[in-house]
Amino acid sequence: MPVIAPMPAARPTRLPSQRDGAEQPASAEDAVAAGTTVDHLTETYRAHYRSLLGLAALLLDDTASCEDVVQEAFIRVHSARKRVRDPEKTLAYLRQTVVNLSRSALRRRILGLKLLSKPMPDMASAEEGAYDQLERDSLIKAMKGLQRRQREVLVLRYFADMTEAQVAETLGISLGSVKAYGSRGIAALRIAMEAAA
């Protein structure tokens, strides 16, 4: 269940009047327009929880970490909700936060692996030899071999089913960069998958 903190009571603020430059109390509609509401944020979170979890799952590898990342994303966007001036961008803020938190989690894991004195033993079981598992493993291996930006663009574009414009907004890069990273990423994936076959 998402964490829902009560929204503090809106204090009346003084805004300049459009007519004479004098200040007047803000209406309830103006106060809401200053940021996305808790209700809107919560509804967006509930409606898109599974897609946010799927996005985190494509960047991370275990369910617990994915759930933690998505929950933390909600908490962070909730605490900064007044900066989300356009309620239509609430989902974009949540997606961006999930991507950023996933990156941070991966950085921590890489650092932890570097600090290990010896590598972890391979725990593969006999059941993992099935064709589907092998194909999935080779795809994951090929994805890991891509540059970070190429991997992020492909994951958001094809696995999270986002448009190129949404990918550009989520990653904070231009539309042209999304197309370039996507094209190079697909070419590199094709070469890696053919070599594995």
* CB neighbourhood size of 163 (10 A): 12
- CA-based nearest residue to 69, from 46, 95, 39, 42: 95
pLDDT at 134 (0 to 100): 67
Cα separation, 100 vs 11, in Å, equals 33
pLDDT score at 35: 61
Report the chain's C-alpha Rg in angstroms: 22
The predicted pLDDT at position 79 comes to: 86
Burial tier of 20 (Cβ tally within 10 Å: 0-12, 13-18, 19+): exposed
Name the nearest CA neighbour of 196 among 136, 133, 134, 138: 138
Closest of 38, 41, 12, 39 to residue 25, by C-alpha: 12
pLDDT of residue 179: 92
At 16 the three-state DSSP class reads strand
pLDDT computed for residue 23 by the predictor: 44
pLDDT in tens, the chain (197 residues): 444 433 333 443 343 444 444 444 444 444 444 567 888 888 888 888 999 988 888 888 788 888 999 999 998 988 888 887 787 888 888 999 999 999 888 888 877 777 665 555 555 555 555 566 667 777 788 888 889 999 899 888 888 888 899 999 999 999 999 999 999 998 988 888 888 76
Residues linked to residue 25 through DSSP beta bridges, in sequence order: 14
Q: Which pLDDT value is given to residue 118?
A: 55
